[in-house]
């Protein structure tokens, strides 16, 4: 029977029928045939500690005995209060307020509205947003506007607003990025820089040094421009630190987090901001209210999962697991350093990526779907970005499981070279 489900980022005219997953466990998905599939990309980068972590699952079950959904514009509840206190404590110092939403896209959308609202409520409003080329921030109208233009959003171009784009800081051309930002800021109309810190995810796992982020923050501060860091992917240890901006010694004005916020168990997002941004909306004049919400803002069960995630970070050796995974990834990536079939080996924390050399690369490279099918046959969930193969596994992944993933990458290269892929 044909399924009525329309799957995301899926061309149903080209893809085979999807197998059902019946269970998740540790670093694996278990399908309807009983096969254990290594989740080498953390189910789109959300699963941090592993699937169905017992502490988080127990918190969800307990919360279900007490809560369902509560309107958050009229009341508050302890899971949201406790999670907010914990987020302020674990985030870079200076971020003092937490606004909840329900996905990475929406928490970035919230950040954009916060920044524009901050200046709208000031004596000198600003209207421009600055971003980095190749960035991806989500699929809502605001986040598509801020992201790279191309096949992802070409159909929706009439709905998108203009932004100022910085060139990506390619090695040897970093100053071009900084000079462009200085030039944009000098106009006096840039409200905020929105940026993925250290690594651009969907744009091809492109990496840049922490020193660039530090200098961008210094330029922003000189011009009273806000910095928004999109830590939706990079947060919760992916880059080696809890948040990537820590490695640049940067406290942003606004920080966006989702994905690993609940350990990946339930959808939840938060936008953290400084007191200055909150205070710009604080007034006896109701027109200065921050007008944003969703029906499921601060869902108590999701917030309980977030609190449990913080407990895991506090009570378990998560940082040690991250360091171990970082080392295991580094050791296995090294085998490709002199392999002529690959280019641009790179690693940021627990994330590794490399480009398979093909005649035509990019996101729509024909090799992408063939690679996915190749890995799927070998019980591996690896979704290359065109010819860019990357691994971002949960922190519980074992050495043997990583060996299997890297052996498959090497086999895939051999098959492609032989014309069998």
Q: What is the pTM of this model?
A: 0.97
Residue 1 lies in a domain: no
**How confident is the model at residue 386, as a pLDDT?**
96
If residue 158 lies in a helix (H) or strand (E), which one and from where to where? none
Q: Which token pair is 371?
A: 């690679």
Angle at 100 between CA 97 and CA 102, to 5 degrees: 155
Number of domains making up the chain: 2
Q: Which token pair is 358?
A: 């093909």
Task: Identify the domain boundary among 315, 331, 347.
Answer: 315
d(CA 376, CA 391): 14
List the pLDDT tens digit at each of the 421 positions of the chain.
Answer: 789 999 999 999 999 999 999 999 999 999 999 999 999 999 999 999 999 999 999 999 999 999 999 999 999 999 999 999 999 999 999 999 999 999 999 999 999 999 999 999 998 899 999 999 999 999 999 999 999 999 889 999 999 999 999 999 999 999 999 999 999 999 999 999 999 999 999 999 999 999 999 999 999 999 999 999 999 999 999 999 999 999 999 999 999 999 999 999 999 999 999 999 999 999 999 999 999 999 999 999 999 999 999 999 999 999 999 999 999 999 999 999 999 999 999 999 999 999 999 998 888 899 999 999 999 999 999 999 999 999 999 999 999 999 999 999 999 999 999 999 9
Residue 395 lies in a domain: yes
**How confident is the model at residue 168, as a pLDDT?**
98
Q: Are residues 273 and 331 in the same domain?
A: no
CA 167 to chain centre: 20
**How confident is the model at residue 176, as a pLDDT?**
98
Q: Are residues 199 and 346 in the same domain?
A: no
Which 3 state secondary structure label does DSSP give 193? strand
d(CA 30, CA 22): 6
Q: Are residues 282 and 410 in the same domain?
A: no
d(CA 404, CA 393): 13
Angle at 334 between CA 238 and CA 39, to 5 degrees: 45
Task: Identify the domain boundary among 260, 284, 315.
Answer: 315
Residue 2 lies in a domain: no
Interhelix angle 174-186/210-222, rounded to 10 degrees, is 20
Q: Are residues 299 and 326 in the same domain?
A: no
From first CA to last CA, the distance across the chain in angstroms is 30
Q: What is the DSSP letter of 75?
A: -
Q: Are residues 309 and 343 in the same domain?
A: no
Residue 346 lies in a domain: yes
Task: Identify the domain boundary among 267, 284, 315.
Answer: 315
Q: Are residues 167 and 229 in the same domain?
A: yes
Residue 29 lies in a domain: no
Residue 349 lies in a domain: yes
Q: Are residues 379 and 277 in the same domain?
A: no
Q: What is the CATH number of the domain that holds 397?
A: 3.90.1150.10
Q: Are residues 335 and 357 in the same domain?
A: yes
Q: Which domain holds residue 375?
A: 319-417
Kind of pairing between the strands at 28-31 and 21-25: antiparallel
Q: Are residues 326 and 259 in the same domain?
A: no
d(CA 421, CA 384): 14
**How confident is the model at residue 181, as a pLDDT?**
98
**How confident is the model at residue 347, as a pLDDT?**
98
Q: Are residues 70 and 179 in the same domain?
A: yes
Q: What is the CATH number of the domain that holds 139?
A: 3.40.640.10
Residue 253 lies in a domain: yes
**Among 134, 105, 138, which residue's Cα sits nearest to residue 271?**
105
d(CA 226, CA 53): 37
d(CA 358, CA 30): 32
Q: What is the DSSP letter of 26?
A: B
Which 3 state secondary structure label does DSSP give 332? helix
Residue 403 lies in a domain: yes
**How confident is the model at residue 217, as a pLDDT?**
98
Q: Are residues 108 and 244 in the same domain?
A: yes
**How confident is the model at residue 2, as a pLDDT?**
87
DSSP 31-74: ETT--EEEETTHHHHT-SS-BT-HHHHHHHHHHHTT-S---TTT
Q: Are residues 192 and 292 in the same domain?
A: yes
């Amino acid at each position: 029977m044909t399924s009525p489900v329309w799957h995301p980022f899926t061309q149903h005219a080209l893809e085979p029928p999807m197998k059902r997953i019946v269970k998740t466990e540790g670093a694996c998905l278990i399908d309807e045939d009983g096969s254990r599939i290594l989740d080498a990309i953390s189910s789109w980068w959300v699963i941090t500690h592993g699937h169905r972590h017992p502490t988080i699952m127990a918190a969800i079950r307990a919360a279900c005995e007490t809560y369902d959904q509560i309107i958050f514009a009229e009341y508050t509840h302890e899971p949201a209060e406790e999670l907010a206190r914990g987020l302020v404590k674990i985030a870079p110092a200076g971020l003092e307020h937490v606004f909840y939403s329900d996905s990475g896209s929406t928490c970035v959308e919230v950040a954009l509205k916060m920044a524009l609202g901050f200046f709208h409520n000031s004596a000198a409003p600003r209207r421009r947003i600055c971003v980095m080329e190749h960035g991806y921030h989500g699929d809502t109208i605001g986040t598509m506007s801020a992201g790279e233009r191309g096949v992802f959003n070409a159909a929706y171009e009439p709905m998108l607003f203009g932004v100022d784009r910085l060139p990506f800081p390619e090695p040897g051309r970093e100053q071009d990025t900084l000079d462009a930002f200085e030039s944009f800021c000098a106009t006096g109309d840039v409200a905020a820089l929105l940026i993925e810190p250290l690594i651009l995810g969907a744009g091809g796992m492109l990496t840049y040094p922490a020193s660039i982020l530090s200098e961008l923050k210094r330029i922003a501060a000189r011009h009273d421009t806000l910095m928004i860091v999109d830590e939706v992917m990079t947060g919760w240890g992916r880059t080696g630190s809890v948040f990537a901006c820590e490695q640049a010694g940067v406290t942003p004005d606004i920080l966006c987090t989702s994905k690993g916020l609940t350990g990946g168990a339930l959808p939840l997002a938060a936008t953290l901001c400084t007191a200055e941004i909150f205070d710009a909306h604080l007034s006896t004049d109701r027109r200065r209210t921050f007008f944003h919400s969703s029906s499921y803002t601060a869902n108590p069960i999701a917030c309980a999962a977030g609190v449990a995630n913080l407990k895991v970070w506090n009570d378990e050796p998560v940082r040690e697991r991250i360091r171990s995974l970082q080392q295991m990834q580094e050791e296995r990536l090294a085998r490709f350093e002199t392999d002529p079939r690959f280019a641009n080996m790179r690693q940021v924390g627990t994330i590794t990526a490399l480009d398979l050399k093909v005649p035509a690369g990019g996101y729509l490279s024909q090799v992408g779907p063939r690679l996915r099918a190749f890995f799927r046959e070998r019980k591996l969930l690896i979704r290359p970005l065109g010819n860019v193969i990357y691994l971002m596994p949960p922190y519980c992944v074992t050495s043997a499981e990583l060996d299997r993933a890297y052996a498959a990458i090497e086999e895939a290269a051999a098959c492609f070279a032989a014309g069998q892929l």
